[in-house]
Homo-oligomer: A and B are copies of this chain.
Amino acid sequence: MVVGYKTYLELIQGLLTDQEVVATGMRGEVSRCQTAIDRALAGDQVAIVSSGDAGIYGMAGLVLEIARARGLRLGGLEAAAADLRLEVVPGVSALNAGAALLGAPLMHDFVVLSLSDLLTPWELIARRVELAAQGDFVLAIYNPKSAKRTWQLPAVQETLLKYRSPDTPVGIVRRAARAGQEAVVTTLGQMLEHPVDMQTVLFIGNSQTLAAGGYMVTPRGYGGKYELE
């Protein structure tokens, strides 16, 4: 059985043959995972489909949370006695795919952060942005804006401008590695002039990040040690 959010199942249409398919809508995550676990306990082989990397803001965590809440034994790395055998298959997250489109923004230490306050209080998100800025981390920002949630990204920009130049390169990638993908390199000062939605990831450079021939790159420091020209 294959279980997933319907948009993601459509993306893998070509891979599906005669499997039973259970498609659910947005916000159906919990019931989707419960169904998958129930069926696996009944002896079926079940795949839960997530977009990008299931382990990064995807479904892998919820499956483990539910299994734990239900007291199921998973065997784990020691492959001990188990009610359920689990395999998490890694993937290319929007942080990997988006960065590749932009050049190489994530070549040095970075923070990955979601601005969605659906499951996380805004105070914690805001604090993390401030600390990331203080640490001169590159930032990869997921879920920057939704139809109802529009003021967070300007707040992030304001915080970052306390620590970084408005000329800091910023990359904006929408639908990375999907049909209709879009990518642009702009600056911290001008980043709000570009359209952004829930399918967008923002890459905000650190103090070392450079614009490079239409791309962006965060140097690792070779320039200080070697002659690059």
Contacts and interface: CB of A to CB of B under 8 A. Distances in A.
Interface of A: 29-30, 53-58, 60-70, 72-78, 80, 82, 86, 88-93, 96-97, 99-114, 119-120, 124-125, 127-128, 131-132, 134-137, 177, 183-185, 210, 212-215, 217-226, 228-229
Assembly of this chain: how many copies? Answer: 2
B96 A109 contact: no
Contact of A213 (B76, B112, B134): B76
A56 B198 CA distance: 24
Contact of A229 (B53, B62, B69, B91): B69
Nearest to A63: B104
B92 A62 contact: no
The prevalent SS among residues of A at the interface is mixed
Nearest to A109: B113
B223 A69 contact: yes
A64 B217 contact: yes
A29 B137 contact: no
A72 B213 CA distance: 7
Nearest to A185: B77
A58 to B, nearest CB: 8
A215 B132 contact: no
